[in-house]
Amino acid sequence: MNLVVVSNRVARGKANEPMTGGLAAALLPVVENSGAIWVGSSGRVRDGNQEPFAEVESLGNGALALLDLPAAHYGGYYEGFANSALWPAMHSRPDLIRATREDYLSYREVNAFMARALLRFRKADTAFWVQDYHFLALGTELRDLGVTSPIGFFLHTPWPARNVIGGVPHARELIEAMLAYDLIGFQTEEDCENFVGSVQLELDLPVHDGIILSRHGRTRAAVFPIGIDVERFAQQAAKAASHPEVSRLRKSLNGDRLAIGVDRLDYSKGLTNRISAFDRMWSAQPSLLRTASLLQIATPSRGAIEAYGNLQNEVAKLVSDVNGRHGEIDWTPIRYLNKGFGQAVLAGLYRTAQVGVVTPLQDGMNLVAKEYVAAQNPADPGVLVLSKFAGAANELDAALLVNPHDIDGMARTIATALTMPLTERRMRWEAMMARLRRGTIQQWFANFVEELQETQLDKNVAPPLMSEPTPLWPRRPAQAGARIH
């Protein structure tokens, strides 16, 4: 089977190039090794109505195909519908949903544009695997162009409760469009159940053992928690100890303890709550002043969207206030950096820190949590403080789990992590590493592709009996006519 992977962001994998997000970092090693073609945006736009053109380059055993997206629709697609309507909804922030009908039409136009571009990569045995919320409608666009081969979809964000996703304009149309996919993958059981509930409530369709029957045929909804390349990342971390930036950080600590947070500057990451928890910790436990600091790397993201610009100002002011309150002439409590780092440097920074702080308000998986664990020195591992609202918490239950809305609780837990004895640190780290090794990125990739292939066999099997499905929630009576939210 020839596999074409599709996402908005792509990664080239240059040694010192900052990664553009967890999705790109996760897909890079499997595309390099599998021979897949990875298609995504070049980051440029093109004027006019030209047909899609892809710039193709090698990527390990695979290839990278970069597209210039249409200028007339890019803003409405990316900053508009994808990141001002879908992203806040997926992270349970319906108060931040902003989208016009023009944004939605641009979103659909870019999905259709991408579908046309993908036809050049289609062969008799090609399967398409679409990634994330940017391309919810890409499957139905491919079907409309006559594609009958397997098409899978994986959502890297959460799928929210039905009343939240229902607040997205045209939600019903998008959910129906998603059923053109043969297989839809989610990070957690909760996400999968929420999606199935949305299908039942919005479309009044029966579901049996994760199989949905619609006008498109069968769609299977299933859970595939994403992992990382554990051994590769561990090796990178060990080698990075001698990297100049890592060495300078270690030298500057003068033996003091360090906590690290690495996030995009995004309201879903809980940065203000995290900084407030450190502020509370230093106020409640003065013994930790001058002995334990925070390195917060917050890469700017989507700065043209008002909510992100406001957040950047809020976080910068809060960091300044905390440093002004607790800092000394020769000691800064919070080192705050608004830039990205390559994977090799990040691995070394993780290994240097005694505590990893991953406290999003809502997250699909959050691979930083897994990377921090994999980067640790087995003889002297650090402690992971992890939000229970990150998908990773379902696997890394040996971390110190916190509620990111409980500032006092987080402050106490971070202090506990900073003072945890070696025996307990090793025990927790070994348990988490065992989970990571059982669910690597390679296994995630192989499991999804195998199940996607099996969907073709399912098409030759009689449909499941749907007369008495077990609904997650009572379905309301079917209503005549389609509705647009």
**Residues annotated as part of the active site:** 156, 363
Of all helices (H) and strands (E), which one includes residue 42?
strand 37-46
Helix segments in 119-215, DSSP class H: 138-144, 162-165, 171-178, 189-198
SS3 (DSSP) at 133: helix
Task: Tell me the CA distances in angstroms from 227 to 72, 349, 429, one per residue in order.
Answer: 36, 20, 16
Radius of gyration (C-alpha) of the chain in whole angstroms: 23
Distance in angstroms (rounded) separating the CA atoms of residues 24 and 343:
11
Distance in angstroms (rounded) separating the CA atoms of residues 199 and 2:
30
Please check whether residue 267 is in contact with residue 301, taking contact to mean a CB–CB distance below 8 angstroms.
no
Distance in angstroms (rounded) separating the CA atoms of residues 311 and 274:
14
Q: How many CA atoms lie within 13 A of 163 on its CB side?
A: 2
Please check whether residue 115 is in contact with residue 134, taking contact to mean a CB–CB distance below 8 angstroms.
no
Distance in angstroms (rounded) separating the CA atoms of residues 476 and 485:
17
Sheet of 62-70: strand order equals 54-59, 62-70, 37-46, 2-6, 126-131, 151-154, 183-186, 217-223, 211-214, 207-208
Only one residue has tokens 């929210």, namely 160
Q: How many CA atoms lie within 13 A of 288 on its CB side?
A: 24
Q: How many CA atoms lie within 13 A of 354 on its CB side?
A: 19
Of all helices (H) and strands (E), which one includes residue 103?
helix 101-118
Beta-bridge partner residues of 196: none
Residue 411 in tokens:
């402050």
Distance in angstroms (rounded) separating the CA atoms of residues 242 and 235:
13
Beta-bridge partner residues of 128: 4, 151
Please check whether residue 328 is in contact with residue 290, taking contact to mean a CB–CB distance below 8 angstroms.
yes
